């Protein structure tokens, strides 16, 4: 370590892990197909609502369950930034014409900010702790494969990781700098926590960490949390009841997103999910156990450590982690645990510092201990992530070929393309855009920009509803018969072309119109259905 430090300096050492994170993120992007063909929920929802924020049309925001508003505002800033350097023409039209550019650009900016924040964490830890402590804290993303895998997504959970990394940066400065002001940090902690809750409500248990770490100014912290939250949701304040009703459903039903039976938990499902959480996060579970035991042990020691910020942090971390595990066991998705997982590295260092303070003879174990922890964390993360990447390669192996197949067939002659919109991704960008548009208020106001780019893309809206233009407004279905063009629709495992055919048959009714159909196969399950409608001479 001394040779590396002498050769490259402090900043050279501290840049290693942030650069590796960014390289790994880029590698994941290369493995995954475009966003529209692999992950549109919630990515495209935040892209379109981010556009609403970017053009200051806040009444158009239609997604507010989480509520997620600060992330939408961040996306709007990213869209503006990307347009300044790479835009072509008017902003809204360009976003609808090239949504993947703005999606990837926003994701790149977020990853850059995450990497820079990890560098800053290392720097403040280097100053206040040691170079070994700095490197340990920079491994924050490798103590769970989920934290690394999240980086290829563009979600509020990933945005909250960035905000929580900033919180860790300030926590390091507060915990390891004895003379810093409680008032200053109560304000900083409170604003960050309030904004994080406004991004996604599952962060609420994490508020216990700074609350118990602070020696005083707890009321100020709570006040700033409330103010930070209110500022975060200000653009949707008129529709705040939507968020409130969503939270009430979460609390009163045992299923995900407020579904299921009207009870707090399903005991069988809860226990099953809890076992999965522990099995998938062994290191994290052991750290929680160590934090609880060490805190109890600390409370039994002399006063010189019972008032220590270390003990307060450990108590807050243990309570927050157990609270979040309870919530995730109730509404299970593993990445919901990310807000607590990100604190694993800091907790390990706090544990080690407290052990050294109580039993000073163990200080000599610091270097080998940290080396073993860092190397083990990196290896475990690599093993977990490597297998997941292999699985994704298999899952998406035909994605590029399917995209090219659809593009080729759609370019043969003028045609209508009728797609069936839902939360599932598809082999053309319209699948993502339509899903995003579905969560926009006053969506018809985007009509001029959307129709200009996608004039012949229609959406199937159910057996009893007319086809619509990109889900914006219904069409006059008689025009499909009066000015016939070839109609294409994709048949896949979850999107049956028969639904579109049945709707067309309803449109035809008793009119003298012939329907000729042909299949253009891609593989055994996926094919394009080509439909020609012609009026009969009889």
So what's the pLDDT on residue 4?
Answer: 54
Mean pLDDT score, 315-328: 94
Q: Whole-angstrom distance between the N-terminal and C-terminal Cα of the chain?
A: 88
345 lies in the same domain as 471: no
Band (366; pLDDT cuts 50, 70, 90): low
So what's the pLDDT on residue 125?
Answer: 92
Please say if the pLDDT value at position 389 is more than 70.
Answer: yes
20 lies in the same domain as 124: yes
Please say if the pLDDT value at position 97 is more than 50.
Answer: yes
Q: How many separate domains does the chain show?
A: 2
205 lies in the same domain as 317: yes
Report the percent of the chain where pLDDT is more than 90: 51
> Across the chain, which distance is largest between two alpha carbons, in Å?
101
So what's the pLDDT on residue 306?
Answer: 45
What's the rounded Cα separation, in Å, for the pair 410 and 102?
24
E strands, 7-145, in order? none
So what's the pLDDT on residue 8?
Answer: 61
DSSP 203: G
Give the pLDDT confidence of 403-435 residue by residue, as tens digits. Answer: 999 899 888 877 899 999 888 889 999 999 999
Is 249 inside a domain boundary? Answer: yes
So what's the pLDDT on residue 156?
Answer: 96
163 lies in the same domain as 208: yes
So what's the pLDDT on residue 302?
Answer: 57
Please say if the pLDDT value at position 474 is more than 80.
Answer: yes
Locate 462 and state its tokens: 């159910």
188 lies in the same domain as 245: yes
Produce one character per residue of 157-186: b if its CB has 16 or more CB atoms within 10 Å, e if not. Answer: bbbbbbbbbbbbbbbbbbbbeeeeebeebb
401 lies in the same domain as 356: no
150 lies in the same domain as 251: yes
Band (1; pLDDT cuts 50, 70, 90): low
Domain boundary among 346, 365, 384: 365
Is 54 inside a domain boundary? Answer: no
Mean pLDDT score, 442-461: 92
Residues spanned by the domain of 97: 1-31+64-365
Instruction: Share the mean pLDDT of the chain.
Output: 87
Locate 164 and state its tokens: 């929580």
Domain boundary among 349, 365, 381: 365
Is 496 inside a domain boundary? Answer: yes
So what's the pLDDT on residue 304?
Answer: 54
Give the pLDDT confidence of 478-496 residue by residue, as tens digits. Answer: 888 887 788 999 998 888 9
**Residue at token pair 């035991």:** 293
So what's the pLDDT on residue 374?
Answer: 67
List, edge to edge, every strand of the sheet that includes 486-491: 473-474, 468-469, 457-459, 415-419, 486-491, 527-535, 513-521
Produce one character per residue of 386-412: b if its CB has 16 or more CB atoms within 10 Å, e if not. Answer: eebbeebeeebeebeebbebbeebbee
350 lies in the same domain as 417: no
Half-sphere exposure of 9 (CA within 13 A, CB side): 2
Please say if the pLDDT value at position 380 is more than 50.
Answer: yes
150 lies in the same domain as 238: yes
Is 112 inside a domain boundary? Answer: yes
Band (238; pLDDT cuts 50, 70, 90): confident
Locate 167 and state its tokens: 């919180």
Query: Is the pLDDT higher at 283 or at 234?
Result: 234
Band (264; pLDDT cuts 50, 70, 90): confident
E strands, 453-507, in order? 457-459, 468-469, 473-474, 486-491
Give the pLDDT confidence of 6-54 residue by residue, as tens digits. Answer: 556 677 889 989 998 999 899 888 888 999 999 999 999 999 999 999 9
Mean pLDDT score, 106-131: 94
Band (362; pLDDT cuts 50, 70, 90): very low
What's the rounded Cα separation, in Å, for the pair 61 and 39?
21
What's the rounded Cα separation, in Å, for the pair 296 and 360?
19
Locate 256 and state its tokens: 């995900």
309 lies in the same domain as 398: no
Give the pLDDT confidence of 134-174 residue by residue, as tens digits. Answer: 888 998 888 887 888 889 999 999 999 999 999 999 999 99
Nearest to 26 by CA among 139, 151, 176: 151
Query: Is the pLDDT higher at 454 or at 269?
Result: 454
CB atoms within 10 A of CB 484: 15
Domain boundary among 365, 382, 403: 365
Band (303; pLDDT cuts 50, 70, 90): low
CB 220 within 8 A of CB 188: no
Mean pLDDT score, 323-331: 89
Is 385 inside a domain boundary? Answer: no
So what's the pLDDT on residue 44?
Answer: 97
Please say if the pLDDT value at position 289 is more than 90.
Answer: yes
Report the percent of the chain where pLDDT is more than 70: 90
CB 103 within 8 A of CB 43: yes
DSSP 42: T
317 lies in the same domain as 406: no
261 lies in the same domain as 299: yes
Instruction: Give the lowest-confidence range in 153-157, 283-287, 387-391.
Output: 387-391
- For residue 520, the cross-strand partners are 528
So what's the pLDDT on residue 7?
Answer: 56
So what's the pLDDT on residue 485?
Answer: 81
Instruction: Give the lowest-confidence range in 119-123, 262-266, 428-432.
Output: 262-266
What's the rounded Cα separation, in Å, for the pair 417 and 38?
20
Is 50 inside a domain boundary? Answer: no
Residues making up the chain, counted from first to last: 538
Is 53 inside a domain boundary? Answer: no
Is 99 inside a domain boundary? Answer: yes
Instruction: Tell me the pTM.
Output: 0.92
């Amino acid at each position: 370590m001394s040779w590396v430090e002498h050769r490259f300096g402090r900043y050279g050492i501290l840049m290693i892990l942030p650069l590796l994170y960014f390289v790994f993120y880029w590698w994941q992007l290369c493995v995954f197909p475009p966003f529209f063909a692999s992950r549109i929920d919630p990515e495209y929802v935040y892209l379109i609502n981010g556009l609403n924020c970017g053009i200051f049309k806040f009444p158009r925001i239609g997604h507010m369950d989480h509520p997620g508003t600060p992330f939408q505002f961040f996306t709007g800033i990213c869209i503006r930034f990307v347009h300044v350097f790479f835009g072509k023409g008017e902003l809204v039209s360009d976003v609808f014409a090239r949504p993947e550019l703005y999606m990837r650009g926003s994701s790149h900016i977020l990853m850059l900010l995450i990497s820079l924040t990890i560098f800053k964490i290392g720097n403040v830890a280097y100053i206040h702790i040691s170079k070994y402590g700095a490197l340990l804290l920079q491994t924050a993303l490798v103590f769970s494969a989920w934290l690394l895998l999240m980086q290829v997504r563009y979600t509020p959970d990933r945005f909250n990781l960035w905000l929580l990394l900033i919180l860790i940066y300030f926590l390091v400065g507060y915990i390891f700098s004895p003379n810093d002001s409680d008032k200053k940090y109560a304000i900083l902690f409170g604003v960050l926590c309030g904004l994080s809750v406004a991004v996604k409500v599952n962060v609420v248990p994490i508020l216990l960490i700074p609350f118990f770490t602070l020696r005083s100014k707890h009321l100020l912290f709570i006040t700033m949390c409330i103010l930070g939250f209110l500022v975060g949701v200000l653009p949707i304040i008129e529709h705040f009841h939507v968020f409130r009703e969503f939270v009430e459903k979460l609390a009163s039903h045992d299923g995900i997103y407020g579904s299921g039976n009207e009870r707090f938990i399903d005991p069988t499902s809860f226990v099953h999910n809890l076992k999965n959480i522990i099995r998938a996060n062994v290191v994290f579970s052991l750290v929680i156990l160590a934090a609880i035991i060490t805190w109890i042990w600390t409370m039994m020691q002399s006063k010189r450590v019972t008032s220590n910020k270390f003990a307060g942090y450990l108590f807050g971390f243990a309570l927050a982690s157990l609270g979040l595990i309870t919530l995730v066991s109730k509404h299970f998705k593993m990445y919901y645990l990310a807000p607590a997982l990100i604190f694993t590295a800091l907790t390990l260092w706090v544990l080690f510092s407290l052990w050294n303070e109580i039993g000073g003879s163990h200080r000599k174990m610091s270097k080998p201990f940290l080396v073993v922890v860092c190397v083990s964390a990196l290896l475990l993360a690599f093993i977990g992530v490597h297998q997941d990447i292999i699985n994704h390669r298999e899952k998406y192996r035909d994605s590029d070929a399917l995209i090219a197949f659809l593009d080729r067939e759609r370019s043969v002659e003028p045609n209508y393309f009728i797609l069936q919109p839902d939360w599932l991704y598809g082999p053309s960008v319209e699948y993502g855009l339509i899903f995003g548009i579905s969560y926009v208020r006053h969506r018809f106001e985007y009509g001029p920009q959307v129709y200009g780019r996608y004039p012949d893309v229609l959406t199937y809206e159910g057996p009893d509803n007319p086809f619509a233009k990109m889900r914006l407004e219904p069409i006059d279905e008689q025009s499909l018969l009066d000015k016939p063009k070839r109609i294409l629709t994709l048949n896949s495992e979850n999107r049956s072309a028969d639904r579109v055919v049945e709707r067309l048959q309803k449109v035809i009714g008793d009119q003298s119109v012939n329907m000729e159909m042909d299949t253009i196969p891609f593989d055994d399950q996926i094919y394009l259905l080509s439909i020609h409608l012609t009026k009969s001479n009889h």
